[in-house]
Chains A and B, each alone.
Chain A
Amino acid sequence: MTGTLSSQGHSFLTPGGVEIVFVLVGLAVLGAALLTVTTRQLVHAALWLVVALGGLAIEYLLLTAEFIAWVQVLIYLGSVVVLVLFGLMLTKAPIGASPDADSGNRWVALGVAVVAAATLVTLVVDAFRCTWIDLTAGGGSTRADGTMLFRYWVLPFEALSVLLLAALVGAVVISRRHREER
């Protein structure tokens, strides 16, 4: 596509400022994600998840998807992490370090993850070695996204709002029925 045509004149050895920032934030995101899945303190895992998701919002900003970035901040940092913290609190998660946070098949999981990562990284690097993104501002602005969403994607958008409503009502019903049984 356009990326392959304009691949002349780019080089791995002269990364631009955007790429350097992207890689640095990406390293922070990866580190926070690793800490999320390995830390033994359950509440710290949720807080490292905040760092990972916030870093991903910065990555969206670097990819000129501004509206997605702010939606990420609102939905993930604002509500999902709070929900997760509530879930940890309501399931009486221990505050300190819990030694049994990882199950017994930890090494099998590590093997599966490493094999999957090696395979996919090899595949992706081989497939997209010579493709470049032309970053121009405004591609993902709120105006562009709103036009796109309400001109071409109205029906899925409304269907998803109904799905979200149904899911939340279902969550309320699931939480309530048991209390009545008691």
Chain B
Amino acid sequence: MHLVYPAVLAVLLFCVGLYGVLARRNAVLVLMSVELMLNAVNLNLVAFDVWLRDTLHAGQALTLFTITIAAAEIGLGLAIVLMVFRTHGTADVDRLRMLSDSAEAAEGDDPDSDHSMASATDNPAKTASADVPQGKATVG
């Protein structure tokens, strides 16, 4: 078999996952896109292992290890997403800006500040012109 077929499939799968990570809003969907990227890497590892005929089978061993780490990653990631959902009432990665520099996000530790967070998300230029120094609010 031509090596280009699995390599190109892995590249395209990785880029599909990249698009999903960047474009999705729900955190669980972001995790699913990460799984797609990990699977692209696995396909590469298997294809190159079969091509190189390594006596240690390093590619397949690393594939098994990657699958294990992916299982650990999805478990921990979903636990964190669940905790964030319980704390803030949303799993939207766009609305989780607790760590950003704007004043609304800094005082938005309680769940009832969803409104101010949403307005900060919708109109960053307006919040930047309020009482926050210019440039700090637009960074987040």
A binds B: yes
Residues of A participating in the B interface, judged by any CB pair closer than 8 Å? 1-3, 10, 12, 15-16, 18-19, 22-23, 26, 29-30, 33-34, 36-37, 42, 45-46, 49, 52-53, 56, 59-60, 62-65, 67-68, 71-72, 75-76, 79-80, 83-84, 86-88, 90-93, 100-106, 108-110, 112-114, 116-117, 120-121, 124-125, 128-129, 131-135, 139-140, 144-145, 148-149, 152-153, 156-157, 160-161, 163-164, 167-168, 170-172, 174-175, 178
List, in ascending order, chain A residues with CB within 8 A of B56's CB. 148, 152-153
Taking a contact as CB atoms under 8 Å apart, the answer to whether A175 and B79 are in contact is yes
Residues of B participating in the A interface, judged by any CB pair closer than 8 Å? 1-9, 11-29, 31-33, 35-36, 39, 42-43, 46-47, 49-53, 56-57, 60-61, 63-65, 67-76, 78-83, 85-87, 91-94
What are 7 A-B contacts with C-beta separation under 8 Å?
Answer: A59-B6, A60-B46, A72-B42, A76-B35, A131-B3, A152-B61, A178-B86
Taking a contact as CB atoms under 8 Å apart, the answer to whether B71 and A164 are in contact is yes
List, in ascending order, chain A residues with CB within 8 A of B79's CB. 170-172, 174-175
Taking a contact as CB atoms under 8 Å apart, the answer to whether A68 and B46 are in contact is yes
Taking a contact as CB atoms under 8 Å apart, the answer to whether A56 and B43 are in contact is yes
Main secondary structure of the interface of A (DSSP, over half): helix
Which of A19, A68, A171 is within 8 Å of B2, CB to CB?
Answer: A19
Taking a contact as CB atoms under 8 Å apart, the answer to whether B16 and A34 are in contact is yes
Chain A residue at smallest Cβ distance from B59: A65
* Measured CA separation A13–B50 after assembly (Å): 23
Question: Would you give the shortest CB distance from A158 to chain B, in whole angstroms?
Answer: 11
* Measured CA separation A80–B42 after assembly (Å): 15
Taking a contact as CB atoms under 8 Å apart, the answer to whether B82 and A101 are in contact is no
* Measured CA separation A104–B2 after assembly (Å): 39
Also in contact, A91 and B85, with CB within 8 A (given A34-B16, A131-B3, A168-B72): yes
Also in contact, A103 and B94, with CB within 8 A (given A80-B71, A124-B11): yes
Question: Would you give the shortest CB distance from B102 to chain A, in whole angstroms?
Answer: 17
* Measured CA separation A115–B26 after assembly (Å): 24
Also in contact, A75 and B3, with CB within 8 A (given A33-B13, A156-B65): no
Known: A63-B1, A103-B25. 7 other contacts (CB 8 A): A19-B2, A45-B32, A62-B1, A80-B35, A103-B93, A103-B94, A167-B72
Taking a contact as CB atoms under 8 Å apart, the answer to whether B60 and A148 are in contact is yes
Question: Would you give the shortest CB distance from B86 to chain A, in whole angstroms?
Answer: 6
Taking a contact as CB atoms under 8 Å apart, the answer to whether B29 and A42 are in contact is yes
Chain B residue at smallest Cβ distance from A168: B75
Taking a contact as CB atoms under 8 Å apart, the answer to whether B60 and A121 are in contact is no
Question: Would you give the shortest CB distance from B122 to chain A, in whole angstroms?
Answer: 10
